[in-house]
Amino acid sequence: QLPRLKPFNRLQIILQHLNMSKHTDSAAEVLLEKRGCAGVITMNRPKALNALNLSMIRQIYPQLKTWERDPETFLIIIKGTGGKAFCAGGDIRAITDAGKVGDRLAQDFFREEYILNNAVGTCQKPYVALIDGITMGGGVGLSVHGHFRVATEKTLFAMPETAIGLFPDVGGGYFLPRLSRKIGYYLALTGFRLKGRDLQKAGIATHFVESEKLPALEEDLMALKSPSKENVADVLNSYHMKCKIDQEKQFVLDEHMDKINSLFSANSMEKIIQNLKQDGSPFALKQLETINKMSPTSLKMTLRQLREGASMTLQDVLTMEYRLSQACMSGHDFYEGVRAVLIDKDQVPKWKPATLEEVTDEFVDSCFKSLGNSDLKL
């Protein structure tokens, strides 16, 4: 029984009830508010570690575009709720269910997500991502292409897609090969996790600030009077300079950088494997063990994605990645990877083909082919 309310309020409540998705009120999955000089986007699915679903994308994109045009909005801030995650990725379960039955979501999700990634990358207003907590997959796409990425001691970054029969998408083919030396290739193929200050040392974050200082940082940003990009940078720099956590700590990959650069610079997966075996050091053997668990198809797709993406624009990379996403949706390994890692959690995926040698160049080529009228248009 609805409470007795003024007709308008009552209608609003009825509409809200109709709007409810199966689990939560979709209006509350993302909060969009204008505060001071800033437009603030808050991903609000803390129980799902703020995983990005299609209804969130469809709320964020038009609002981002509106704020970009609004003369009274000078910067955009994006963050997550719950204290554990900025955004732990895309809503993989929903995409898996859709893909299995040929539902449009398997096309729409990637198409609209990549259009949003491009909007972040081309945003005309300063864009500040507060990547506090877990930031993986789809969460990386919402942050890494923006002007400013603020990591904290709680940040955990990874692109773990090769473990579920996918590839590091959301523009991974653009930003990963542009990281210093071969770090991006290493992160993409192994799914290695970076934490805290290491994100800034790797070039993924632009600033490092204590997690507990973020509310104050946000207030200072919102209080700016018609700020320029430089004014925003000044505020971020002042917080960054004052942060003493892990200041003296060496970059986690420092001692392995020479090996990473030589071992991961090969132009085929087979050669990378050969390099690791020949090297034989504990570090190399550990990487070999990790890579051997990944989808052979995903590994070959990913290496080519990064090698080609290194000289492409973000738009061309996203167009290429949309083709790859649809190849994965019509293949075997994505569904098997999701089953093994996320659903049954037995961690023993049965990849098809099971070896790198069986993944032919012709097959990989076919994944990169134009989809004609169905191609992503940016």
Active site residues: 90, 138, 161, 169
Residue given tokens 């207030």 in the structure block: 219
Token pair belonging to 194:
């970076």
Closest C-alpha among 66, 218, 90 to residue 159: 90
Please state whether 126 falls in left (phi above 0), alpha (psi between -120 and 50) or beta: beta
Distance CA 263, CA 286 (A): 13
Structure tokens belonging to residue 287: 């990487």
Distance CA 260, CA 35 (A): 44
3-class SS of residue 262:
helix
Angle at 92 between CA 63 and CA 341, to 5 degrees: 150
Amino acid identity, residue 142?
Answer: L
Nearest to 82 by CA among 26, 134, 36, 24: 134
Burial of 196 per CB tally in 10 Å (0-12, 13-18, 19+): buried
**SS3 at position 149:** strand
Among 172, 147, 154, 122, residue whose Cα is nearest residue 298: 172
Question: Distance (Å, rounded) from C-alpha 218 to C-alpha 80?
Answer: 13
